[in-house]
Chain A
C-alpha cells in the first residue's frame, strides 16, 4: 500500500486506493444551495455592556458634578471666615450693603481694595451634600460650688454602693473580694 498516495495523493498511485476512490466517489457530496426558511431567525448575541456602560457613565458624571459643586463652594466659605473671627458664615445685608454690587464697587476700590469680599451665599445647586447630624445638647456649665456638691454626691453614692456590695456578699457567704484586685504585683 502506498501510504503517500493515501495521505495526500502524491507519489505513485495505488490501484486499490484509486478503485476505492472511484467506487465511493459516486456518493460524493453534490453541491446544493442552502435553503434558509423565510421565518428563520438568527439569535443575536445579547450584549449587556453598552447599557451598563451608559448607566455607569451617567452615574459617574452625576456624582462628579455634585462633588465638584459641593467642594467648589466650601473653600470660599472657609476663606471668608478665618479662625478667630466671629463673623457669621452667612452675612446679613445691612442698610449700607443694600446697594447693588455695581454701585458698591467704586467705594470698595477707593477705601480698601485688598480687603476680602464678604461671603454672600449664592443659590445652591447641590446634587449631593453632606449634613452633619445634630449633636445632643450639652449640659450647662456648673459653678465651682455646684461642682463640689456634685463630687460629694458621687462620693456618697460610691460609698453606699460599696457597703451594699459587702453586705450582699456577707449574706451570700462569699468571701469579701479583694478591693485592690486587678493591680500589678510589685517586685
Chain B
C-alpha cells in the first residue's frame, strides 16, 4: 500500500516531464492559465504536483509539526498572488521562494522555542531516529539542506529537484555530493569507513 502510494506520488512528480505532456509547453503553464481564467479547481493539480517540494523546503527550515500548516499557507498565498507570476514556467521556483520566505517569517514571529537541556538530551534513545538525522541536516549549510531533504525525505531524484526548484542540475549534483559528504562526517560514518 505504501509502495503503491509512493509509486503514485512518483508518477505524479514525474508526470510533468513525460514526453506525452511536454510537447509544447510545461503542464504548469496551462494550469496557471486556467486558474487565472477562473478555474480555481485546477489549482488543486498544481498543489498535488508541488506540495512535496514545498514540504521539503519547509522541512529543511522549520519544526516538523509546523510544516503541514505552513504548506497550506504557502499554497493559499500562491493562489492569492498567482496573478503576479509573470512567467508561468517558473511556477516551481516561484513557490519555492514563497516557501523559503514563509519559513523566515516563521522565525521572525514571537514564537517560543524550547532549548535542548542536558536532561532532555540524556533521555534520547541511543539509535539514530529520523528526526535526529533531520536535525543534523538542518545544521548543514543552507545550500545543502534543501537538496538533501528533497532527495532523502521527499525521495525526489536530482533531475526532479532541479526541475522543481529551478536550480541547475549541476548545482543540485554538487549540493547532493557535498551535502552527503558533510552529513556523513556529522554522523560519524566517515570515521567508520576504512
Contacts and interface: CB of A to CB of B under 8 A. Distances in A.
Interface of A: 1, 3, 6-9, 16-17, 20-21, 23-29, 31-37, 40-45
A28 B154 contact: yes
A21 B152 contact: yes
Contacts of A45: 36, 83
| Chain A at the B interface: SS class | loop
Interface stretch (B23-31, B73-81, B98-106): B73-81
A109 B60 CA distance: 100
B158 A24 contact: no
Contacts of A42: 40, 79-80, 82
Contacts of B176: 6-7
Contact of B76 (A3, A21, A26, A36): A36
B157 A9 contact: yes
Nearest to B137: A24
A8 B157 contact: yes
Interface residues of B, number: 46
Contact of B177 (A6, A9, A27, A41): A6
Interface string B145-163: 0000101111101110000
30 contacts: A1-B180, A6-B151, A6-B180, A8-B157, A8-B158, A16-B184, A16-B189, A17-B180, A21-B155, A23-B128, A23-B130, A23-B152, A24-B130, A24-B149, A24-B153, A25-B152, A27-B59, A27-B131, A28-B154, A28-B155, A31-B51, A32-B71, A33-B44, A34-B43, A34-B47, A34-B75, A36-B76, A40-B79, A40-B80, A43-B80
A3 B155 CA distance: 15
Given A3-B173, A33-B44, A40-B76, 5 more contacts: A1-B181, A23-B129, A32-B71, A42-B82, A44-B83
B137 to A, nearest CB: 8
B152 A20 contact: yes
Nearest to A9: B157
A40 B184 CA distance: 45
Nearest to B36: A45
Nearest to A16: B189
B144 to A, nearest CB: 13
A39 to B, nearest CB: 12
